[in-house]
Amino acid sequence: MARIAAIERKSKETHIKAKLNIDGRGDRCEIKTGIGFLDHMIELFAFHGLFDLELEVVKSDTQIDIHHTNEDIAIVLGKAFKQALGDKAGIRRYGCAGAPMEATAARAIIDICGRGYFKLNVEEDKLTNNGEKQEYSLSYLEHFMESFAHNTGMTLSVTLQNVSDDIHTNVEAVFKAVGLALDQATQVDPRREGIVPSTKGIID
Ligand SMILES: [Mn+2]
């Protein structure tokens, strides 16, 4: 069965559409968020996760700032993964992957357990200050991944080591690591055919 999803979400702040194929190739993506930086990061995530993803922000309120759009994109992306995964029968459920970029290294650990939880492990002062005067920030990254994890129904732990002064480097390493780990976690293990990977028998 195809593991695909189509999501459309409209609020008074944003209107976002997404189409996802979990079993894709990663090179058939069209990401149009209106935020160039985020287009680049989501494309990297999809490419390295081998996901085919179309994402379009039809309407946004970026005249205020990117807060709502950043969050709502992550909500839609999370809902798309949740829908495409269905009852989660047969999946590996866990994933752990890392991606370095220059001195910086990001590691992502995932459990698609139905419980949305996100933790970014980074030095506190870096979280507060990194990217302060730039388009994006570690706080925006944290908010994005938190919304993504909650809406996918996964526990996501990200550790960022040797935080760079360049926000691009930090965020890129994280998006790649999350893509790689989510690819692992969503893969079907043939030994587990038809079995929901939980001793509870279900994953919400
Ligand atoms: Mn880049």
0.95 exceeded by the pTM? Answer: yes
pLDDT digits (tens, 9 = 90+) for 167-200: 999 999 999 999 999 999 999 999 999 999 999 9
Instruction: Give the model's confidence band at 147: pLDDT under 50 very low, under 70 low, under 90 confident, else very high.
Output: very high
| C-beta of residue 29 within 8 angstroms of C-beta of residue 49 | no
46 token code pair: 């999809």
To the nearest whole number, what is the mean pLDDT of the chain?
Answer: 95
> What's the CA-to-centroid distance between 157 and ligand 1, angstroms?
22
Model pLDDT, residue 126: 82
Query: What average pLDDT does this structure show over 124-149?
Result: 86
| C-beta of residue 30 within 8 angstroms of C-beta of residue 59 | no
> What's the CA-to-centroid distance between 83 and ligand 1, angstroms?
29
> What's the CA-to-centroid distance between 62 and ligand 1, angstroms?
22
Closest CA to 166 of 123, 133, 144, 120: 133
Query: What average pLDDT does this structure show over 111-130?
Result: 90
Q: Going by C-beta distance under 8 Å and a sequence separation of 6 or more, which residues neighbour residue 55?
A: 16, 17, 18, 29, 30, 31, 32, 33, 42, 73, 76, 77
Q: Starting from the edge strand earliest in sequence, which strands make up the sheet with 15-21, in order?
A: 4-10, 15-21, 52-59, 30-32
> What's the CA-to-centroid distance between 41 and ligand 1, angstroms?
7
Which of 62-66, 103-107, 126-130, 191-195 shows the lowest mean pLDDT across its residues?
Answer: 126-130
Which of 16-25, 96-105, 128-137, 146-155 shows the lowest mean pLDDT across its residues?
Answer: 128-137
> What's the CA-to-centroid distance between 90 and ligand 1, angstroms?
34
Please state, as a whole number, how many other Cβ atoms lie within 10 Å of the Cβ of residue 189: 12
All structural domains of the chain: 4-192 (3.30.230.40)
> What's the CA-to-centroid distance between 197 and ligand 1, angstroms?
35
Instruction: Give the model's confidence band at 127: pLDDT under 50 very low, under 70 low, under 90 confident, else very high.
Output: confident
Helix (H), strand (E), coil (C) string for 134-162:
CCCCHHHHHHHHHHHHHHHCCEEEEEEEC
> What's the CA-to-centroid distance between 168 and ligand 1, angstroms?
6
Amino acid at the residue 94: Y
Query: What average pLDDT does this structure show over 4-17?
Result: 98
Model pLDDT, residue 129: 74
> What's the CA-to-centroid distance between 172 and ligand 1, angstroms?
6
> What's the CA-to-centroid distance between 142 and ligand 1, angstroms?
18
Model pLDDT, residue 133: 63
Question: DSSP states of 99-125 as a string?
Answer: EEETTEEEEEEEE-SS--EEEEES-HH
Model pLDDT, residue 51: 98
